[in-house]
Amino acid sequence: MRALADPIAVQASFDELGTPLHEITFVVVDLETTGGSPAAAEITEIGAVKVRGGEILGEFQTLVDPGVPIPPFISVLTGISDRTVAGAPRLASALPAFLEFVGSTDGTVLVAHNAPFDMAFLKAGCAATNREWPGHQVLDTARLARQVVTRDEAPNCKLASLARLFRASTTPDHRALSDARATVDVLHGLLERLGNLGVRSLDELATFSSRVSPGQRRKRHLAEGLPHAPGVYVFADERGEVLYVGKSKDLRSRVRTYFTASETRGRMAEMVGLAASVTPIVCATALEGEVRELRLIAQHKPRYNRRSRFPERALWLKLTVEAFPRLSKVREVKDDGAAYLGPFSSGRQVELATAALHEAFQLRQCIARLSPRRASPACALAEMGRCGAPCDGRETVEHYALHTAAVRQAMLGDVRQVVTAVSRRVRLLGEAERFEEAALHRDRLAAFVRAAARVQRLRALTGCAEMVAARPAADLGWELVVVRHGRLAGSAVAARGVDPRPIADALVATAERVVPSHGPAPAASPEETECVLRWLEEPGTRLVDATHPWAMPAYGAGRLRNYLAGARDSADPFADRRRLPVVSRPARPKLTA
């Protein structure tokens, strides 16, 4: 990675920070209803005021005939009775008129005090009249007031209290237009306060939180110059030490949220306080950004990243290579011809998977190194029929090798023998009403199946020396990747209307040269290969070319979806929560420009 540049303090422009507030059209709306829930109440009045840059552009008010009697206490509260709404339009006529007054979603923001209440009624009204809700951005003045108004200034954040605080020209009286006018004055008072805190744009207003310190906001110049593009961003301190690495589909928007958004993670506020620079690394595709993030985290081990910092600490279950092999928990995958299962998220998961294999095969469980020339006393497991006792000579090296071959096959290919043995034990324990023991054996089988599916997926992809794949991009172009031995070797984008084949050929010619090592993940971390697999398995992905077939074992763990779908977060060492489906892709479909 190139050296991290020193920060340059630049005055932020409105364009850099988002849409300036003075260019936004706010439509402040208030409703009166027959009750508190749109499921059991109807709208009786709609009032709205349209403002921009502090200037009132128009007002809207209409009574609405709810079609049901108005409760007496509502009439006392609002002054709206059945007689008041007699002759008023029904909602099917009043709502379209209001939506026409609001206008398009482009540059228009709906504002309400306790917005969820008003928006719920408006959305329910659209549904009842077979209209699509326009989807305007919504601003809640009550939420903003809770961020900037103290209890010493106002006893609560009710509209009446805030209207008194900001000296509104209209006193709210539970009539829609009056309350909307009062809300306009409250909105302007809040915007004035927020402007003193550095809030100048709609993005900053929508994401404002008082929990973001002034120190964080003052560092928003660090987001200057970052592109609106996918990639990786690197926070570093004054000494150039990497503090945090993240990824985003829009680098500028994402980094800006660290200084203006409601970032509630304490360690992120601390990180921003130490940060002196943000370095962007633009990537051709989101997959490249995800992979680069993993590599940078593993390389720099930033103190404020919690995930993926130590891929070398992953746990594996190893079938050792010796005269009488055994299962062993290890952290390093060596080039010794052994079979490996994993990676696992914890030692507990390794123990469960080990127990499942011991349930199905008479593999020795002792840790001593046995010699075929020197006998030693057998343990209790031999007397119980759980071990063939190679230690005392009852099993020869050749006979014991049959157990070893079966275990290796179960780990890397055919899991049926393990599933049959452990499932039978679960059934017998359940019939005996020994449910806790049955649950333990079920967990053992689940841990084994998930680990076997993971390593079989890894081996299926890493066994392919080179794979070229493509997926339709959002702009109707193509995202292209080259994967070599499970490692992302290159990625590119073919724009809309451009023939992707020459670009794919050029990408293959210029992609990273990958020399595989050993183990289930010989060229990249298992997590990186999992990222590539998820991308390949997305709907619409096309396999352009591959040097070897890409398929899962016919009787592998990937077919046991009931075990793969359940409680996967306890066994998955990675952050994703996706399924592990059986994978098979046709070769060389035709790409169109």
pLDDT digits (tens, 9 = 90+) for 201-256: 787 777 665 555 666 667 777 877 888 888 999 999 999 999 999 999 888 888 88
Contact 450, 568 (CB under 8 A): yes
pLDDT score of 263: 56
Q: Kindly report, residue by residue over 494-532, the tens digit of the pLDDT.
A: 988 889 999 999 999 999 999 999 889 999 999 999 999
Q: Where are the domains of the chain?
A: 21-199, 206-309, 313-457, 460-570
Q: CA-CA distance, 310 to 346, in Å (whole number)?
A: 13
**Buried b / exposed e across 106-135, counting CB within 10 Å, b at 16+?**
eebbbbbbebebbbebbebbbeeeeeeeee
In this model, does residue 180 exceed pLDDT 90?
yes
For the beta sheet containing 339-344, the strands, ordered from the edge strand earlier in sequence to the opposite edge, are: 327-330, 315-319, 339-344
In this model, does residue 382 exceed pLDDT 80?
no
pLDDT, average across residues 466-490: 91
Q: Which fold has domain 206-309?
A: GIY-YIG endonuclease (3.40.1440)
570 alpha carbon, distance to own chain's centre: 17
Residue 78's closest CA among 113, 40, 114, 33? 33
Amino acid at residue number 346: S
Q: Which fold has domain 21-199?
A: Nucleotidyltransferase; domain 5 (3.30.420)
Q: Do domains 21-199 and 206-309 have the same CATH topology?
A: no
Confidence class of residue 345 from pLDDT cuts 50, 70 and 90? Answer: confident
Q: What are phi and psi of 486, to 5 degrees?
A: 80, 0
Confidence class of residue 18 from pLDDT cuts 50, 70 and 90? Answer: low
Contact 169, 185 (CB under 8 A): yes
* CA-only gyration radius of the chain, Å: 32
CB atoms < 10 A from the CB of 73, how many? Answer: 8
pLDDT score of 497: 87
Ranking 19-33, 197-211, 294-308, 472-486 by mean pLDDT, the lowest is 197-211
Alpha helices in 153-250 (DSSP H): 159-165, 176-196, 202-206, 214-218
Average pLDDT score, the chain: 85
Q: Are strands 108-112 and 137-140 parallel, antiparallel or unpaired?
A: parallel
pLDDT, average across residues 56-82: 94
Confidence class of residue 567 from pLDDT cuts 50, 70 and 90? Answer: very low
Give the alpha-carbon dihedral of 259, 265, 268, 270, to 10 degrees: 100
In this model, does residue 41 exceed pLDDT 90?
yes
586 alpha carbon, distance to own chain's centre: 29
Residue 345's closest CA among 580, 572, 575, 578? 572
Q: CA-CA distance, 504 to 512, in Å (whole number)?
A: 14
Q: CA-CA distance, 295 to 31, in Å (whole number)?
A: 53
Amino acid at residue number 247: K
Is 174 among the residues known to form the active site? yes
Find the angle CA(225)-CA(284)-CA(202) to the nearest 5 degrees: 40
Alpha helices in 18-114 (DSSP H): 72-78, 91-102
Q: CA-CA distance, 413 to 397, in Å (whole number)?
A: 23
Token pair, residue 405, equals 């071959």
In this model, does residue 261 exceed pLDDT 80?
no
N-to-C CA span, the chain:
34
In this model, does residue 122 exceed pLDDT 80?
yes
Q: CA-CA distance, 61 to 98, in Å (whole number)?
A: 8
CB atoms < 10 A from the CB of 325, how many? Answer: 22
User: Which residue in the list 174, 221, 403, 485 is annotated as catalytic?
Assistant: 174
pLDDT score of 293: 94
**Running DSSP on this structure, what letter comes out for residue 69?**
P
pLDDT score of 209: 58
Q: What are phi and psi of 187, to 5 degrees?
A: -60, -45
Q: CA-CA distance, 94 to 297, in Å (whole number)?
A: 56
Its pTM stands at 0.63
Confidence class of residue 406 from pLDDT cuts 50, 70 and 90? Answer: very high
